[in-house]
């Protein structure tokens, strides 16, 4: 009957969907409480406004960090994220989500530090932190040898294996450091306003167009 068809359409439009089918869980707004173990190694292709670069993540370097990256990449977290802090001969940082609601969820989902097993040499990738055990989603590529970060507890979780000189070194760096030491993007405003803030005030920032796990390997046990 027409009434039944209309009722089903209304239910679907309101998110109810067909009877007996659970609504699809958004992995960013409703993260899975079970931490999935990442492969021993996996390669992620970051397609950016400057072109693609590839990062090999190595779980033996930082197991907790690798597990977090694997979940975020497979959930599409890094798509459309801006490289909001690019400081030549230091770091290129990204990983604050463009949606403030997603940022609010993830800013409280900290996870414990990994021991530093590898040096922060040029091309390695580490999580940004605000102190011990405060890692969440933000990553940075070391644009130079940053050995002092080893002593501060920044544990590399992977390394750029393609596109470092051609792409990562070319990311827009004209805005400089953020407040209070510079006039670049303010991370508090970024968390609260998302990409709308960056598009309005820092339109030249490069960003990630898409991410994809292009290969993965699990070692024999």
- CATH number for the domain including 200? 2.40.100.10
User: How many distinct structural domains can be found in the chain?
Assistant: 1
The parent domain of residue 117 ranges over 27-217
In a domain, 176, yes or no: yes
In a domain, 5, yes or no: no
pLDDT tens-digit profile of 59-108? 999 999 999 999 999 999 999 999 999 999 999 999 999 999 999 999 99
Q: Which residue has the tokens 């979940």?
A: 71
Mean pLDDT confidence for 154-161: 98
In a domain, 85, yes or no: yes
In a domain, 12, yes or no: no
CA distances from 215 to 55, 139, 142, 218 (A): 11, 20, 23, 11
Model pTM above 0.85: yes
Which one has a higher pLDDT value, 149 or 36? Answer: 149
213 DSSP β-pair partners: 44
**Percent over 90 (pLDDT), the chain:** 84
Q: What is the mean pLDDT of the chain?
A: 91
In a domain, 13, yes or no: no
In a domain, 117, yes or no: yes
- In the predicted model, is pLDDT for residue 14 greater than 80? no
pLDDT tens-digit profile of 101-149? 999 999 999 999 999 999 999 999 999 999 999 999 999 999 999 999 9
215 DSSP β-pair partners: 43
Asked if 57 contacts 157 with a C-beta cutoff of 8 angstroms, the reply is yes
């Amino acid at each position: 009957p027409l009434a039944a068809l209309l009722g089903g359409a209304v239910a679907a439009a309101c998110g109810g969907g067909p009877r007996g089918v659970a609504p699809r869980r958004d992995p960013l707004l409703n993260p899975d409480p079970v931490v999935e173990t990442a492969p021993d190694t996996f390669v992620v292709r970051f397609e950016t406004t400057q072109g693609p670069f590839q990062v090999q993540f190595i779980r033996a370097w930082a197991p907790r960090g690798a597990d977090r990256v694997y979940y975020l990449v497979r959930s599409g977290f890094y798509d459309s994220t801006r490289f909001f802090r690019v400081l030549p001969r230091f770091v290129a940082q990204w990983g604050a989500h463009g949606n403030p609601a997603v940022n609010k969820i993830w800013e409280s989902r900290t996870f414990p530090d990994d021991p530093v097993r590898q040096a922060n040499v040029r091309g390695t990738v580490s999580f940004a932190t605000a102190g011990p055990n405060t890692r969440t989603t933000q990553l940075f590529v070391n644009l130079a040898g940053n050995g002092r970060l080893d002593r501060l507890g920044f544990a590399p979780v992977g390394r750029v294996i393609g596109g470092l000189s051609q792409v990562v070194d070319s990311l827009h760096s004209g805005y400089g450091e953020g407040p209070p030491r510079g006039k670049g993007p303010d991370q508090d405003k970024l968390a609260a306003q998302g990409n709308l803030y960056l598009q309005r005030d820092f339109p030249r920032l490069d960003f990630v167009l898409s991410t994809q796990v292009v290969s993965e390997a699990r070692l024999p046990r």
